[in-house]
């Protein structure tokens, strides 16, 4: 895990707050007056400041899944405010874009509490209670948990 973080460019104390604020401004400005708006909140800005711009490509098998490349850049979700708002309503929490997996095949999102999700054509997935844990899930190739409906059925 430490090697993957270092290879991606992360280091202790990394804090790119100006970049995070620019991304926040771009997300808030996106769309028209009748379009859904992106949510921006402290947990997202903190995640973008510490991890934004990092790209991970750890090849080979993981613990339970093949590992996939991913990028932590909220601009990857610029065109998905409605998707994030819909999932946020279902979870009763605001979501912001965090990045993407596999060159755009899945959208990464973060909620107000710092929990991280992946949304792809097969459903919505919980990656972990924090960005650190979500990165670990992806880098180590752990199986994420499928989000379920209120009655316990798998969503999707």
Burial class (CB in 10 A: 0-12, 13-18, 19+), 81: buried
pLDDT by residue (tens digit) across 98-116?
A: 999 999 999 999 999 999 9
Joined together, the tokens standing for residue 1 give 């895990």
> For the residues 63-77, what does the mean pLDDT come to?
96
pLDDT by residue (tens digit) across 27-66?
A: 999 988 888 999 999 999 999 999 999 999 998 899 999 9
* Maximum pairwise Cα distance, the chain: 45
Residue boundaries of the structural domains of the chain: 2-9+19-30+37-145
Q: What is the pTM of this model?
A: 0.94
């Amino acid at each position: 895990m430490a090697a993957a973080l270092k290879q991606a460019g992360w280091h202790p104390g990394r804090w790119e707050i100006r970049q995070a604020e620019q991304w926040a401004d771009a997300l808030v400005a996106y769309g028209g007056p009748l379009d859904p708006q992106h949510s921006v909140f402290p947990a997202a800005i903190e995640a973008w400041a510490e991890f934004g711009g990092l790209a991970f490509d750890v090849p080979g098998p993981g613990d339970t899944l093949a590992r996939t490349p991913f990028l932590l850049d909220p601009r990857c979700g610029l065109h998905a405010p409605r998707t994030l708002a819909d999932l946020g309503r279902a979870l009763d929490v605001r979501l912001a874009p965090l990045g993407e997996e596999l060159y755009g095949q899945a959208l990464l999102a973060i909620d107000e509490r710092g929990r991280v999700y992946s949304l792809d054509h097969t459903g919505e997935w919980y990656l972990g209670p924090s960005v650190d844990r979500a990165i670990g899930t992806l880098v180590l190739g752990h199986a994420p948990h499928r989000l379920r409906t209120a009655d316990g059925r798998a969503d999707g």
